[in-house]
Amino acid sequence: MKFSLEWLKYFLDTDAAVEDVATTLNAIGIEVEGIDDPAEKLDGFRVAEVLTAKKHPDADKLQVLTIDAGQGEPLQVVCGAPNARAGMKGVLGLPGAEVPANGMKLKKSAIRGVESNGMMCSVRELELGDEHDGIIELPENAPVGTSFAEYHNASPVFDVAITPNRPDCMGVYGIARDLAAAGLGTFKPIEPGAIDAKGACPVEIRTDDPEGCPAFYGRVVKGVDNTVSSPDWMQKRLIATGQRPINAIVDITNYLMLAFGRPAHAYDLAKLSGPVVARRAKDGEKVEALNEKTYTLDSSMTVIADDNGVHDIAGIMGGEHSGVQPETTDVLLEIAYFNPEAIGVTGRKLGLASDARTRFERGVDPAFLDDGLAILTSLIQRVCGGEASEVVRAGSPPSEPKVVRFDPALTAKLGGVEVDEAEQKRVLESLDFTVDAAWNVTCPLRRHDIEGPADLVEEVVRIHGLDNVESVALPRVDGVARPTATPQQQIERKLRRAAAASGLNEAVTWSFLPTDQAEHFAALRQAQDEREALWVLDNPISEDMKAMRPSLIPGLLSAVKRNMDRGAESLRLFEIGRRYLRAKDGSSDEHPTLAVLLAGARTPRGWATGKAQMFDAFDAKGAAEALLAEAGAPVANLMVMGDAGPQFHPSQSGTLRLGPKNMLARFGALHPATLDAFDVDGPVVAVEIYLDAIPAKKGKQGFAKPHYAPPALQAVTRDFAFLVPADLPAGDLLRAVKGADKKNIVDARVFDVFAGQGVPEGKKSVAVEVTLQPGEKSFKDDELKAISDAVVAAAVKQGAELRG
């Protein structure tokens, strides 16, 4: 919200400088986001008088002016404005000045061969309005040579952030009241004078929706002249807030809203037919709003209508059809109190935001209806003339003030600052609270945010000064602080660092998915081929965020698509988050999960490598095992099994398990149907690690870890070649070999796989290198033979036979 210092001082008697006002605003909880000083933009512009005006010798539409700018010698200026003439006074931009509207820096130049020393300026060029048909014409008594910023009384403009709980400060009047309470000056309350009413209102006004519109007041003003402009002082204040002056009546309604936080509306009486009623819209009714867009309404929305239909989306925006125009002579003024919750619901349904909605959905002052209508009527009569009818009051606004029992000692207890009881009472009363001898505090109706004693403490503390609250450290128990992170959180932190260190880039995606994507990744029940029921939100942010994600892979796939569409050739993404599953009994749970997606080229094409090497299922398996090892999983004991799910390629995927039922991870290439569903070009490989399936380590770890001591003796390697069934996983063979002698065998790896000539049908040759580590003494021949025999025997149990 923006307002000028001049406007603020209209309601606040103070000599405070701009810096003092800004400091006090911040101190009482009204954050100053910026201060704009228009005088800086008008630096270099002066009040000037045109002494002579002659036709340009080489241009029909240009004149050569002689200008007195109060600098001694007259200046010559070339001007194309049709209203430029001798004897008039205007605004001259001197060389070196910067035109606010376009940033052009003025300089001495020649225009069609004639020297020009600056520029005579229009209203638009100085950002004082939209007029640009001619240069500014100032009154005859304007002092020549005076800085135009000084003459124009350009006032600094504050841009403040008003929190949603303070709708009473959505007008300059409310901000002035707060500043006066903080001691910055004296508040000048507005007392609207009596309006000389001329007979009854000729229009029936009523509310048929007391829930959405509890109170609807109005009156008619006939014989107005809306062809006149609103006063300069009003236009200056509106322009300072960013409002564009439109016509006198519209400007006055905008002024009422910005000054007092009270939206109102004026209808062209000639465009209305029959009673004007606040009612519920009918399903499918349409209205063209002032923004020239048509909105379809439903029966939950409150509207203002007559016999011809809807004219106003109540509390949000008026209609285009009944708006006042310069030719309007009779107006119906409307001021109402609308239900804040209903206004918010309507605005969200229509996707329609406005200054009026911002104020109504936060809650306007229900006690300001009569005063607001009186001020509005008085301003219109002062500017446009006209005769006002009596006021019609349909319904009644909330009128029962809230009374809160307050204990002044709470200010020190909750606010952390000692404030004298007399000062607390002064603060509350300066904000229009009423305090009796027993500290029963009656709240003004405009303060919707006051719910209990704690809110009154906040009022006292912020006016007393938030800067006066001493910073006090929380008490701390002696000794070493206990760790606050849970074991699960520690694992996630460790995995996040490990994944990033391995070259993966972390992504953070939504926990919600489109329903079709969530269904594609819904888990299959073990008992039957039936997908788990998804958790679908009743009130989602949007239709694309309706289902809770059963997997992290869809979000990463969407990230892959976005990056590939923008030219990325290689993607390495990971995410740590939660999956949301729903059991058959309807219960739900969230599961910590780590997902990895590798897409595109693992290595780019090059003269040494040839074609680009794409990611494959083995890359996914390697990533899964490395991250599981970081998480503390017993990787050496893991079994590689199939059934990674229908989202994965059946022959290029697998799972890592501790036993047949405890799946720790699944990995592999994604199924082409999955990639088609997400419109992603393959190949893409993925890993999904289920962190809650990793068994916890037994025992407690101390602070110190045992140091590494390298073996004293050199390791020994032995090679074995086995004939095994073609469908035997190499991992099963390696696991059997390692388990043949757990004391002496420290590693085993496959270094060759062969099938073809010399190998029987349905078989393959697998060569395994076994690493043996001697302890205190070297192996003897008979010990090596015993270990070798144990290795062969373990392999035979897996269906293998030693090759000759």
Strand ranges, E, within 437-477: 440-442
d(C-alpha 88, C-alpha 50), whole Å? 6
Secondary element (H or E) of residue 732? helix 730-738
* Residue 801 among known ligand-binding residues: no
The Cα-based distances of 117 to 87, 436, 666 in angstroms read 19, 69, 78
DSSP 220-243: EEES--TTSPPPHHHHHHHHHHTP
Residue 741 contacts residue 718 (beta carbons within 8 Å): no
Could you tell me how many helices (H) and strands (E) the chain has, helices first? 20, 41
Residue 149 contacts residue 142 (beta carbons within 8 Å): no
d(C-alpha 722, C-alpha 792), whole Å? 9
CB neighbour list of residue 196: distance below 8 Å, 6 or more residues apart: 388
* Helix, strand, coil in percent for the chain, rounding step 5: 25, 30, 45
d(C-alpha 713, C-alpha 729), whole Å? 33
Distance, C-alpha 307 to centroid of its chain? 41
In this structure, what are the phi and psi dihedrals at residue 526, rounded to the nearest 5 degrees? Answer: -70, -35
**Structure-block tokens of residue 166:** 């303070």
* Residue 569 among known ligand-binding residues: no
Strand ranges, E, within 504-642: 505-506, 512-513, 547-548, 570-582, 588-603, 613-614, 639-641
CB neighbour list of residue 681: distance below 8 Å, 6 or more residues apart: 564, 675
Amino acid at 488: Q
* Residue 455 among known ligand-binding residues: yes
Neighbours of 140 (CB within 10 A): 9
d(C-alpha 116, C-alpha 518), whole Å? 70
Per DSSP, what are the bridge partners of residue 108? Answer: none
| Residue that is written with structure tokens 């305090």 in the block | 435
Residue 354 contacts residue 340 (beta carbons within 8 Å): no
Strand ranges, E, within 274-323: 276-280, 286-288, 294-296, 302-306, 309-313, 317-318
**Structure-block tokens of residue 380:** 């219109």
The Cα-based distances of 719 to 734, 736, 742, 758, 798 in angstroms read 13, 15, 17, 19, 18
**Structure-block tokens of residue 477:** 């128990």
The Cα-based distances of 19 to 15, 454, 655 in angstroms read 12, 31, 66
* Residue 361 among known ligand-binding residues: no
Neighbours of 72 (CB within 10 A): 8
d(C-alpha 744, C-alpha 784), whole Å? 10
648-657 and 745-754: which strand pairing?
Answer: unpaired
Q: Is 511 helix (H, G, I), strand (E, B) or coil?
A: coil
Residue 252 contacts residue 231 (beta carbons within 8 Å): no
CB neighbour list of residue 106: distance below 8 Å, 6 or more residues apart: 44, 93, 94, 95, 96, 97, 98, 99, 118, 119
d(C-alpha 404, C-alpha 410), whole Å? 13
Per DSSP, what are the bridge partners of residue 598? Answer: 572, 685
**Structure-block tokens of residue 244:** 């564009």
Widest pairwise Cα distance in the chain:
124
Annotated binding-site residues read: 449, 455, 458-459
Annotated binding-site residues for Mg(2+) read: 449, 455, 458-459
